[in-house]
Amino acid sequence: MTGLLLKNVSKVYKEGNEEVKAMDNVSLSIEQGEFVAIIGPSGSGKSTLLSIAGALLHASTGEVIINGTDIASLSEKQLSNVRLKEIGFILQTSNLIPYLTVLDQLLVVKRMTGSVSVADKSFARELLTELGLGAKLNNYPSQLSGGERQRTAIARAFMNNSSIILADEPTASLDSNRAHEVVQLISKEVKARDKAAIMVTHDERMLGYCDRIYRMEDGLLKHVENHQASV
């Protein structure tokens, strides 16, 4: 089943009297259980694509379909609900809340959508244990390594059982060993939990964990055939 579908999406910005196309007629389909990478130079449109896929930015033209719903027609309140319930974000830095424990970093996500149940607490512990953080549940971010903080952020992205995972340069602040560990864990969770996932990255060493690879340049998206990436 298709989790995320972009159909002929363009994004145009005005700079003075000129129009700049950050995205130019981009189409992309990602099935549940697929982990797709997007590479390309700075300013190529990668962040714009991720923002549109994440319901953070409106497309100028085209359709953005999440679980069968074209989000272009939704109100701001409805879009906020889509971001909260349907999309898990993993950013360049973990962006953890300093005064919350590792377990509470996940539970606060559930509090945003209502109350926290016993099942929610159990699921949070399950996620954190799967990601090697079972012994760190009561630790604060300042007590974690960089890799542990990013793993906590991965668990948080999966906490609402979102159908789509969007990772923006998730290894930017990590050394090579931690970077491989983090992307491998994202890939594993995407497969195990049947999510549709996009990773924007400059680090081509991570591409071996992905099912498909696309290159974005000058707002155009092209599938990369037979990319040689080592894991």
pLDDT digits (tens, 9 = 90+) for 159-180: 988 899 999 999 887 888 888 9
Q: What is the pLDDT of residues 71-86, one digit of tens each?
A: 988 999 999 999 988 9
Contacts of 41 (CB under 8 A, 6+ apart): 217
Residue 154 burial (C-beta neighbours within 10 Å; 0-12, 13-18, 19+): buried
How many domains does the structure of the chain reveal?
Answer: 1
Q: Does 228 reside within a domain?
A: no
Domain at 87, CATH number: 3.40.50.300
Q: Is residue 117 part of a domain?
A: yes
With respect to residue 82, please indicate whether it lies within any of the assigned structural domains. Answer: yes
pLDDT recorded at residue 228: 54
**Contact at 8 Å (CB) between 214 and 35?**
no
Strands (E), 16-86: 18-31, 35-39, 61-66, 69-70
Domain that holds residue 92: 2-223
Angle between helices 118-130 and 102-111 (to 10 degrees): 140
Tens digit of each residue's pLDDT (9 = 90 or more) over 55-74: 999 999 999 999 889 998 89
Residue 230 in this model has a pLDDT that exceeds 50: no
Residue 13 maps to a domain: yes
Residue spans of alpha helices (H) in the chain:
46-53, 76-86, 102-111, 118-130, 146-158, 176-193
With respect to residue 230, please indicate whether it lies within any of the assigned structural domains: no
Q: Is residue 229 part of a domain?
A: no
